[in-house]
Amino acid sequence: MNLDKAKKRIAKHVKKGFNGYPQITLAYYGDTKECATEVVLQFKMAEGESAQEERFSCETEIRENELIQTTVLKIIERANVSSVIEVEGVAVR
């Protein structure tokens, strides 16, 4: 799958907003606010439950990495979640 298609499909899931659980939250981290080098996916089955976490990182802009964006999309689609929440911006580590 190409990068643009993966990014659009992730954005489509995010655009739906909160529709209950199960839920995946995406958060991007980096050394600066301009360049994300890590993405953290948190999966919750129900409110109040502890989240399962998966981390991916690379040395360049992770949002422009085709392999990682495709992997994130596949996780979202295979988990059959009701909600995908994306934390805005890049958190500086």
- Tell me: the pLDDT tens digits for 46-79? 999 999 999 999 999 999 999 999 999 999 999 9
Show the domain range for 52. 3-92
- Greater confidence (46 vs 1) lies with 46
Give pTM, 2 decimals.
0.91
How many domains does the chain divide into? 1
Note the pLDDT of residue 1. Answer: 79
User: How many Cβ atoms are within 10 Å of 47's Cβ, its own excluded?
Assistant: 8
Q: How many helices (H) and strands (E) does the chain have?
A: 2, 4
Q: Which band of pLDDT confidence, cut at 50, 70 and 90, is reported for residue 93?
A: confident
